[in-house]
Amino acid sequence: MVRIDGRDYDELRDVKIIRNYLKHPQGSVLIEMGNTKVICTAMIDDKVPPFLKGTNTGWITAEYSMIPGSTVHRKFRDSTRGKVEGRSQEIQRLIGRSLRGVIDLNLIGEKTIWIDCDVIQADGGTRTASITGGFVALVDAVNWLYKKGEIKQIPISNFVSAVSVGIVDNSPILDLCFDEDYRASVDMNVVMTDDNQFIEIQGTGEKSTFSKDELYKLLNLAEKGNEKLVSKQKEVLGNISKLIGKDKEGEVHG
Protein backbone atom coordinates (compact mmCIF):
# COMPACT_ATOMS: atom_id res chain seq x y z
CA MET A 1 0.00 0.00 0.00
CA VAL A 2 1.02 3.62 -0.50
CA ARG A 3 1.02 5.41 2.86
CA ILE A 4 -0.19 8.96 3.26
CA ASP A 5 3.32 10.27 4.04
CA GLY A 6 5.20 8.01 1.63
CA ARG A 7 6.71 5.73 4.31
CA ASP A 8 7.32 2.02 3.82
CA TYR A 9 4.99 -0.31 5.70
CA ASP A 10 7.71 -1.06 8.28
CA GLU A 11 9.07 2.48 8.67
CA LEU A 12 8.76 4.71 11.74
CA ARG A 13 7.93 8.37 11.42
CA ASP A 14 10.83 10.75 12.08
CA VAL A 15 11.69 10.50 15.78
CA LYS A 16 13.17 13.36 17.81
CA ILE A 17 13.82 13.31 21.56
CA ILE A 18 15.10 16.48 23.21
CA ARG A 19 16.31 16.04 26.79
CA ASN A 20 16.26 18.70 29.53
CA TYR A 21 13.45 20.46 27.71
CA LEU A 22 12.16 22.22 30.85
CA LYS A 23 14.08 23.90 33.66
CA HIS A 24 12.48 22.58 36.85
CA PRO A 25 11.77 18.83 36.55
CA GLN A 26 14.48 16.30 37.40
CA GLY A 27 13.81 14.80 33.98
CA SER A 28 12.06 16.32 30.98
CA VAL A 29 11.89 15.61 27.27
CA LEU A 30 10.07 16.72 24.18
CA ILE A 31 9.40 13.70 22.01
CA GLU A 32 8.23 14.03 18.43
CA MET A 33 6.93 11.13 16.39
CA GLY A 34 6.17 12.75 13.08
CA ASN A 35 3.57 15.41 13.84
CA THR A 36 2.78 14.01 17.29
CA LYS A 37 4.52 16.00 20.01
CA VAL A 38 4.49 15.21 23.72
CA ILE A 39 6.23 16.88 26.67
CA CYS A 40 7.16 14.24 29.25
CA THR A 41 8.43 15.20 32.70
CA ALA A 42 9.62 13.24 35.72
CA MET A 43 9.49 14.89 39.15
CA ILE A 44 10.42 13.35 42.49
CA ASP A 45 8.28 13.63 45.60
CA ASP A 46 9.68 12.52 48.97
CA LYS A 47 6.56 10.60 49.94
CA VAL A 48 4.57 7.61 48.75
CA PRO A 49 0.89 6.63 48.62
CA PRO A 50 -0.58 5.51 51.97
CA PHE A 51 -0.44 1.83 51.07
CA LEU A 52 3.38 2.04 50.79
CA LYS A 53 4.16 4.06 53.94
CA GLY A 54 6.71 2.33 56.15
CA THR A 55 7.74 -0.17 53.47
CA ASN A 56 10.87 1.69 52.27
CA THR A 57 9.56 1.13 48.75
CA GLY A 58 9.03 3.77 46.10
CA TRP A 59 6.36 4.27 43.48
CA ILE A 60 5.95 5.54 39.92
CA THR A 61 2.68 7.02 38.77
CA ALA A 62 1.68 8.88 35.63
CA GLU A 63 -0.71 11.56 34.47
CA TYR A 64 -1.63 12.16 30.84
CA SER A 65 -3.50 14.98 29.17
CA MET A 66 -4.00 16.69 25.84
CA ILE A 67 -3.85 20.47 25.76
CA PRO A 68 -6.80 22.29 24.14
CA GLY A 69 -4.88 23.12 20.96
CA SER A 70 -3.47 19.63 20.41
CA THR A 71 -6.35 18.56 18.14
CA VAL A 72 -8.22 20.08 15.19
CA HIS A 73 -11.19 20.96 17.36
CA ARG A 74 -10.44 22.49 20.76
CA LYS A 75 -10.22 19.83 23.44
CA PHE A 76 -11.78 20.68 26.80
CA ARG A 77 -9.49 20.49 29.80
CA ASP A 78 -10.26 17.88 32.45
CA SER A 79 -10.51 20.72 34.97
CA THR A 80 -13.40 22.13 32.92
CA ARG A 81 -15.13 18.77 32.85
CA GLY A 82 -14.60 18.33 36.58
CA LYS A 83 -13.12 14.86 36.18
CA VAL A 84 -10.44 12.96 34.26
CA GLU A 85 -11.96 11.39 31.15
CA GLY A 86 -11.88 7.62 30.84
CA ARG A 87 -9.42 7.59 27.95
CA SER A 88 -6.90 9.66 29.90
CA GLN A 89 -7.24 7.37 32.93
CA GLU A 90 -6.62 4.31 30.79
CA ILE A 91 -3.53 5.84 29.17
CA GLN A 92 -1.93 7.11 32.37
CA ARG A 93 -2.35 3.70 33.98
CA LEU A 94 -0.68 2.15 30.94
CA ILE A 95 2.25 4.57 31.22
CA GLY A 96 2.66 3.85 34.93
CA ARG A 97 2.54 0.07 34.45
CA SER A 98 5.03 0.21 31.59
CA LEU A 99 7.64 2.17 33.55
CA ARG A 100 7.17 0.29 36.83
CA GLY A 101 7.91 -2.90 34.90
CA VAL A 102 11.60 -2.04 34.47
CA ILE A 103 12.62 -0.48 37.78
CA ASP A 104 13.35 -1.95 41.21
CA LEU A 105 11.26 0.34 43.38
CA ASN A 106 12.81 -1.09 46.54
CA LEU A 107 16.05 0.70 45.68
CA ILE A 108 14.74 4.28 45.50
CA GLY A 109 13.35 4.49 49.04
CA GLU A 110 10.00 6.02 49.91
CA LYS A 111 9.79 8.37 46.96
CA THR A 112 7.20 8.82 44.26
CA ILE A 113 8.33 9.66 40.74
CA TRP A 114 5.57 11.48 38.90
CA ILE A 115 5.57 11.06 35.12
CA ASP A 116 3.50 13.76 33.43
CA CYS A 117 2.80 13.45 29.72
CA ASP A 118 1.18 16.43 28.04
CA VAL A 119 0.29 16.12 24.37
CA ILE A 120 0.84 19.46 22.67
CA GLN A 121 0.09 18.15 19.17
CA ALA A 122 -1.73 14.94 18.33
CA ASP A 123 -1.40 12.96 15.13
CA GLY A 124 -1.74 9.37 16.33
CA GLY A 125 0.37 7.32 18.74
CA THR A 126 0.22 9.74 21.66
CA ARG A 127 0.18 7.00 24.32
CA THR A 128 3.10 5.13 22.78
CA ALA A 129 5.13 8.33 22.38
CA SER A 130 4.36 9.13 26.04
CA ILE A 131 5.85 5.81 27.15
CA THR A 132 8.94 6.14 24.96
CA GLY A 133 9.58 9.73 26.04
CA GLY A 134 8.49 9.12 29.62
CA PHE A 135 11.16 6.45 29.98
CA VAL A 136 13.92 8.90 29.01
CA ALA A 137 12.58 11.44 31.52
CA LEU A 138 12.47 8.72 34.19
CA VAL A 139 16.10 7.76 33.54
CA ASP A 140 17.19 11.38 33.93
CA ALA A 141 15.27 11.71 37.20
CA VAL A 142 16.77 8.51 38.61
CA ASN A 143 20.22 9.61 37.45
CA TRP A 144 19.63 12.88 39.33
CA LEU A 145 19.13 10.84 42.52
CA TYR A 146 22.25 8.82 41.69
CA LYS A 147 24.42 11.89 41.17
CA LYS A 148 23.21 13.32 44.49
CA GLY A 149 24.24 10.11 46.23
CA GLU A 150 20.69 9.28 47.35
CA ILE A 151 20.82 5.90 45.60
CA LYS A 152 23.84 3.66 45.00
CA GLN A 153 22.99 2.58 41.47
CA ILE A 154 20.48 3.20 38.75
CA PRO A 155 17.91 0.47 39.50
CA ILE A 156 16.50 0.23 35.99
CA SER A 157 16.79 -3.22 34.47
CA ASN A 158 15.87 -2.52 30.85
CA PHE A 159 14.97 0.10 28.31
CA VAL A 160 11.27 0.26 27.49
CA SER A 161 9.51 1.79 24.49
CA ALA A 162 6.15 1.49 22.77
CA VAL A 163 4.81 1.72 19.24
CA SER A 164 1.55 1.31 17.38
CA VAL A 165 0.89 -1.19 14.60
CA GLY A 166 -2.24 -1.92 12.63
CA ILE A 167 -3.89 -3.25 9.52
CA VAL A 168 -4.95 -0.62 6.99
CA ASP A 169 -6.36 -1.57 3.59
CA ASN A 170 -5.52 -5.22 4.36
CA SER A 171 -1.83 -4.37 4.94
CA PRO A 172 0.03 -4.51 8.29
CA ILE A 173 1.88 -1.25 8.96
CA LEU A 174 4.07 0.28 11.67
CA ASP A 175 3.57 3.53 13.61
CA LEU A 176 0.16 4.78 12.52
CA CYS A 177 -0.55 8.47 12.07
CA PHE A 178 -4.06 9.70 12.87
CA ASP A 179 -5.45 9.20 9.38
CA GLU A 180 -4.16 5.62 9.29
CA ASP A 181 -5.43 4.94 12.80
CA TYR A 182 -8.87 6.24 11.81
CA ARG A 183 -8.98 3.89 8.81
CA ALA A 184 -7.44 0.86 10.51
CA SER A 185 -9.42 -2.37 10.65
CA VAL A 186 -7.06 -3.61 13.37
CA ASP A 187 -5.25 -1.34 15.83
CA MET A 188 -2.60 -2.39 18.35
CA ASN A 189 -0.21 -0.77 20.83
CA VAL A 190 2.81 -2.80 21.91
CA VAL A 191 5.08 -2.03 24.88
CA MET A 192 8.41 -3.87 24.91
CA THR A 193 11.78 -3.98 26.64
CA ASP A 194 15.13 -3.91 24.88
CA ASP A 195 15.47 -7.69 25.28
CA ASN A 196 12.24 -8.17 23.30
CA GLN A 197 10.03 -8.97 26.27
CA PHE A 198 6.46 -7.71 26.22
CA ILE A 199 5.06 -5.52 28.97
CA GLU A 200 1.67 -4.91 27.40
CA ILE A 201 -0.17 -5.64 24.17
CA GLN A 202 -3.39 -3.75 23.43
CA GLY A 203 -4.97 -5.10 20.25
CA THR A 204 -8.44 -4.58 18.86
CA GLY A 205 -10.30 -5.54 15.74
CA GLU A 206 -11.85 -2.14 15.10
CA LYS A 207 -13.71 -3.08 11.91
CA SER A 208 -12.89 -6.75 11.40
CA THR A 209 -11.42 -9.82 13.03
CA PHE A 210 -7.77 -10.76 12.59
CA SER A 211 -5.96 -14.08 12.33
CA LYS A 212 -3.09 -15.54 14.32
CA ASP A 213 -0.86 -15.07 11.29
CA GLU A 214 -1.79 -11.37 11.10
CA LEU A 215 -1.17 -11.04 14.84
CA TYR A 216 2.35 -12.43 14.45
CA LYS A 217 3.05 -10.07 11.56
CA LEU A 218 1.97 -7.11 13.68
CA LEU A 219 4.08 -8.23 16.64
CA ASN A 220 7.12 -8.65 14.38
CA LEU A 221 6.59 -5.11 13.07
CA ALA A 222 6.28 -3.82 16.63
CA GLU A 223 9.50 -5.57 17.62
CA LYS A 224 11.32 -3.94 14.71
CA GLY A 225 9.92 -0.51 15.57
CA ASN A 226 10.72 -0.79 19.26
CA GLU A 227 14.30 -1.81 18.51
CA LYS A 228 14.72 1.43 16.58
CA LEU A 229 13.10 3.47 19.34
CA VAL A 230 15.41 1.98 21.96
CA SER A 231 18.39 2.82 19.74
CA LYS A 232 17.17 6.42 19.71
CA GLN A 233 16.76 6.42 23.50
CA LYS A 234 20.31 5.13 23.92
CA GLU A 235 21.61 7.74 21.53
CA VAL A 236 20.06 10.66 23.39
CA LEU A 237 20.93 9.32 26.86
CA GLY A 238 24.58 8.82 25.98
CA ASN A 239 26.77 7.46 28.76
CA ILE A 240 23.87 7.07 31.17
CA SER A 241 22.72 4.18 28.99
CA LYS A 242 25.71 2.17 30.19
CA LEU A 243 24.35 2.18 33.75
CA ILE A 244 20.97 0.71 32.83
CA GLY A 245 20.78 -2.98 33.60
CA LYS A 246 24.06 -2.84 35.53
CA ASP A 247 24.12 -3.98 39.13
CA LYS A 248 27.04 -1.88 40.26
CA GLU A 249 28.22 1.25 41.93
CA GLY A 250 30.59 3.39 39.97
CA GLU A 251 31.40 6.60 38.26
CA VAL A 252 28.54 9.02 37.76
CA HIS A 253 27.72 9.53 34.09
CA GLY A 254 25.54 12.25 32.64
Residues 167-201: tens digit of each pLDDT: 999 999 999 999 999 999 999 999 999 999 999 99
Binding residues: 87, 125-127
- Cα torsion angle, 68, 82, 62, 45, sign: positive
pLDDT the model gives residue 242: 94
pLDDT the model gives residue 76: 87
Residue of 47, 31, 51 lying closest to 39 (CA atoms): 31
12: which DSSP letter?
P
Residue of 242, 225, 51, 96 lying closest to 156 (CA atoms): 242
Report the side by side order of strands in the sheet with 186-193.
171-174, 160-168, 186-193, 198-205
The pLDDT confidence band at residue 247, using thresholds 50, 70 and 90, is low
Binding residues for phosphate: 87, 125-127
pLDDT the model gives residue 98: 98
Residues 195-243: tens digit of each pLDDT: 999 999 999 998 899 999 999 999 999 999 999 999 999 999 999 999 9
Residues 83-94: tens digit of each pLDDT: 788 888 999 999
pLDDT the model gives residue 81: 77
26: which DSSP letter?
S
Residues 37-54: tens digit of each pLDDT: 999 999 999 999 999 999
Percent of the chain past pLDDT 90, that is, above it, reads 89
Q: Give the DSSP H/E element, type plus range, for residue 101.
A: none
Res. 253: pLDDT tops 90: no
Question: What is the C-alpha separation between 240 and 194, in angstroms, rounded?
Answer: 15
pLDDT the model gives residue 250: 44
Arithmetic mean of pLDDT, 4-17: 96
Res. 254: pLDDT tops 70: no
pLDDT the model gives residue 82: 77
What domains are there in the chain, each with its CATH number? 15-72+86-243 (3.30.230.70)
Question: What is the C-alpha separation between 197 and 200, in angstroms, rounded?
Answer: 9
Question: What is the C-alpha separation between 149 and 93, in angstroms, rounded?
Answer: 30
pTM over 0.85: yes
pLDDT the model gives residue 80: 77
Q: How far does CA 87 lie from the centroid of its chain?
A: 16
